[in-house]
Structure 1
């Protein structure tokens, strides 16, 4: 993921908003989620957004 960190600046504002809303929703559900699942969900969203921004 760090090798692609240069692409983060090319992401659209909407992509970041979607990711932040997903994080908020995950926190507001008040269900137990493992750290690994949390990171995987965010990473998946980021990779998808980066692939669209090319």
Structure 2
């Protein structure tokens, strides 16, 4: 198999993190954060956090 190079290992982890974050951003960009919540639920949560 040859020698194990720590630099190659770290490069592989870094590339994996970058690809995962790009996929997550694409997935979350098309998602509505208030999906499934009614207007009343949103107002109730805002009041719980001290905003009216």
* Greater relative contact order (Cα < 8 A, sep 6+): 1
Higher helix share: 1
Choose 1 or 2 for highest CA Rg. 2
TM range (shorter): 0.3 to 0.5
Q: TM-score when scaled to structure 2?
A: 0.39
Give the TM-score taking structure 1 as reference length. 0.38
